[in-house]
């Protein structure tokens, strides 16, 4: 029955091979169980509850994708989006995390409507291809910057804004070692390189001092326990911004940016992974794309209700495909492993920033690799793309980076005398960012 449902024979695979691929995908993306709670905790959310919610939303969303599409694509709270949630919406804009979850939910409703009506694809098509790649690269640089900051490698400096940390300090030295170790493992194509790097530095931290009389890694009792309750964040979303026009004006561009980042992230992953798995048709189109977008939209709503930032398709699914995964059974096994990992929550909570920092840096490097796809010889493409890549980490805002790049692209297109190079929808989106930046009605 399982073989027939997932069409294993037709796809040229077996249950054993799908299990192996599922284990590979889990190993490649298990770092999210430590990194997502670490980032969202900075917004004031309960870290233990976040571990539980991260695993549950990843498992349920991945199961939806497997059953709706039969694609080997796993889902989990997205890197980049979680940073935008914490550092832009909550910390920079001073929005309580409960309200931010409400924005994620509204984003999910809009996402669902756009997916059902087909508008979602038109919005994505409106953004120039080089700018889409630049957003991915900029988010990668942003994530890497956060990793370097959390590991103490980069610190604030009143004269130069940022500067190097104390490399002789135990946590900083471990973080540097973690980056090098993980990079070597990745370069050698070791399965689960990122999670192996995290575990190695976590164990090493037990024996390295933190400079304050303790150790980098502090273990409290057993590493195995029942999962922690999600109640501190479960169903805690709030919609106070809908009751005030001034608050809604602040929320609108944030929701819009969530929508853009979510769309780019998911579509890029879907196409990239399914292409590698040989699932695209002869014209390069993705069969059952509508089902994939529907599963993704439902997952976004689920993430807000459970208490985490948006769930997205994971590019790490490509590791499972490389291991032979060809159907949704691959990621169904991955979902089961996510739930099993919950019983190791004490170990996950003990992982220090010195161990998660390298993971962020390596993920950032992965995302930056696509910069080679931008035609830098054409300044019409290079200028908006590079501005976007620089602006996202330097403004500490994905929203600002996307907006600056898109406005630049629109103005250069007009100035070059080729207005048709950008679609009408592209000009509309650029205009919305322009109004937001200069606080012109309705964003004032």
Split at pLDDT 50, 70, 90, the class of 4 is: confident
Closest to 126 (Cα-Cα) out of 260, 256, 253: 260
- The answer as to whether 442 is a domain residue is no
pLDDT at 265: 62
In percent, the amount of the chain with pLDDT more than 90 equals: 16
- Over range 161-179, report the average pLDDT: 91
Segment among 63-72, 267-276, 382-391 with least mean pLDDT: 267-276
- Over range 285-294, report the average pLDDT: 72
- The answer as to whether 121 is a domain residue is yes
Q: How many CA atoms lie within 13 A of 121 on its CB side?
A: 13
Segment among 40-44, 114-118, 185-189, 197-201 with least mean pLDDT: 114-118
pLDDT at 187: 92
Split at pLDDT 50, 70, 90, the class of 54 is: very high
CA 265 to chain CA mean position, Å? 8
Q: Is the pLDDT of residue 241 over 70?
A: yes
| pLDDT tens digits, one per residue of 410-444 | 999 998 888 888 888 788 878 877 877 776 755 55
Higher pLDDT, 33 or 314: 33
Q: pLDDT averaged over the chain?
A: 82
- The answer as to whether 68 is a domain residue is yes
- The answer as to whether 385 is a domain residue is yes
Split at pLDDT 50, 70, 90, the class of 399 is: low
Q: What are phi and psi of 313, to 5 degrees?
A: -70, 145
Q: Are 270 and 73 a contacting pair, CB within 8 Å?
A: yes
Segment among 272-276, 352-356, 397-401 with least mean pLDDT: 272-276
pLDDT at 238: 87
Q: Is the pLDDT of residue 266 over 70?
A: no
- Over range 62-70, report the average pLDDT: 88
Q: Which domain holds residue 251?
A: 2-437
| pLDDT tens digits, one per residue of 185-229 | 989 988 778 778 888 998 899 898 887 778 888 877 677 778 888
Kindly report the pTM of this predicted structure: 0.70
- Over range 277-305, report the average pLDDT: 74
Q: Is the pLDDT of residue 120 over 70?
A: no
Share of the chain residues as helix, strand and coil, in percent rounded to the nearest 5:
70, 5, 30
201 vs 214: CA distance, rounded Å: 16
Split at pLDDT 50, 70, 90, the class of 53 is: very high
pLDDT at 280: 60
- Over range 290-319, report the average pLDDT: 82
Q: How is residue 207 written in tokens?
A: 């024996």
- The answer as to whether 321 is a domain residue is yes
- Over range 283-303, report the average pLDDT: 76
Q: Could you please report the per-residue DSSP string of 82-150? A: HHIIIIIIIIIS---HHHHHHHHHHHHHHHHHHHHHTHHHHHHHHS-HHHHHHHHHHHHHHHHHHHHHH
Q: Is the pLDDT of residue 276 over 90?
A: no
Furthest-apart CA pair in the chain: how many Å? 68
Closest to 240 (Cα-Cα) out of 96, 116, 440, 381: 96
Q: Is the pLDDT of residue 321 over 80?
A: no
- The answer as to whether 444 is a domain residue is no
150 vs 77: CA distance, rounded Å: 19
Higher pLDDT, 419 or 262: 419
pLDDT at 198: 83
Q: Are 78 and 299 a contacting pair, CB within 8 Å?
A: no
- The answer as to whether 443 is a domain residue is no
Q: How many CA atoms lie within 13 A of 210 on its CB side?
A: 15
- The answer as to whether 206 is a domain residue is yes
Instruction: Please give the tally of structural domains in the chain.
Output: 1
Q: Is the pLDDT of residue 154 over 70?
A: yes
């Amino acid at each position: 029955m399982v073989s027939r449902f997932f069409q294993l024979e037709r796809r040229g695979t077996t249950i054993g091979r799908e299990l192996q691929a599922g284990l590979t995908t889990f190993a490649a993306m298990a770092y999210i169980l430590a990194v997502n709670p670490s980032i969202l905790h900075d917004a004031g959310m309960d870290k233990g509850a976040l571990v539980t919610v991260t695993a549950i939303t990843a498992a349920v969303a991945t199961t939806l994708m497997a059953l709706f599409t039969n694609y080997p694509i796993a889902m989990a709270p997205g890197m980049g989006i979680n940073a935008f949630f914490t550092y832009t919406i909550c910390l920079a804009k001073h929005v309580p995390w409960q309200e931010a979850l409400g924005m994620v939910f509204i984003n999910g409703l809009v996402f669902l409507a756009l997916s059902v009506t087909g508008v979602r694809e038109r919005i994505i098509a409106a953004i120039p291809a080089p700018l889409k790649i630049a957003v991915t690269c900029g988010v990668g640089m942003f994530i890497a910057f956060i990793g370097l900051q959390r590991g103490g490698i980069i610190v604030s400096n009143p004269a130069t804004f940022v500067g190097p940390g104390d490399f002789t300090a135990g946590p900083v030295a471990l973080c540097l070692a973690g980056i090098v170790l993980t990079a070597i493992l990745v370069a050698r194509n070791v399965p689960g390189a990122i999670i192996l790097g995290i575990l190695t530095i976590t164990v090493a931290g037990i024996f390295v001092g933190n400079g304050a009389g303790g150790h980098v890694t502090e273990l409290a009792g057993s590493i195995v326990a029942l999962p922690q309750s999600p109640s501190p964040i479960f169903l805690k979303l709030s919609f106070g911004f809908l009751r005030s026009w001034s608050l809604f004006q602040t929320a609108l561009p944030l929701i819009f940016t969530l929508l853009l980042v979510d769309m780019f992230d998911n579509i890029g992953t879907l196409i990239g992974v399914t292409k590698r798995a040989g699932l695209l048709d002869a014209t390069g189109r993705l069969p059952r794309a509508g089902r994939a977008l529907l599963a993704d939209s439902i997952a976004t709503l689920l993430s807000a209700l459970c208490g985490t930032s948006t769930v997205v398709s994971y590019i790490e699914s490509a590791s499972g495909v490389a291991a032979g995964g060809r159907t949704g059974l691959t990621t169904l096994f991955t979902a089961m492993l996510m739930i099993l990992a919950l019983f190791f929550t004490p170990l996950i909570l003990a992982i220090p920033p010195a161990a998660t920092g390298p993971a962020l840096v390596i993920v950032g490097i992965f995302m930056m690799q696509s910069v080679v796809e931008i035609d830098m010889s054409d300044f019409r493409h290079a200028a908006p793309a590079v501005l976007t890549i620089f602006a996202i980490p330097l403004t500490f805002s994905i929203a600002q980076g996307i907006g600056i790049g898109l406005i630049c692209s629109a103005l250069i297109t007009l100035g070059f005398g080729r207005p048709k190079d950008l679609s009408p929808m592209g000009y509309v989106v650029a205009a919305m960012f322009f109004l937001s930046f200069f606080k012109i009605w309705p964003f004032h």
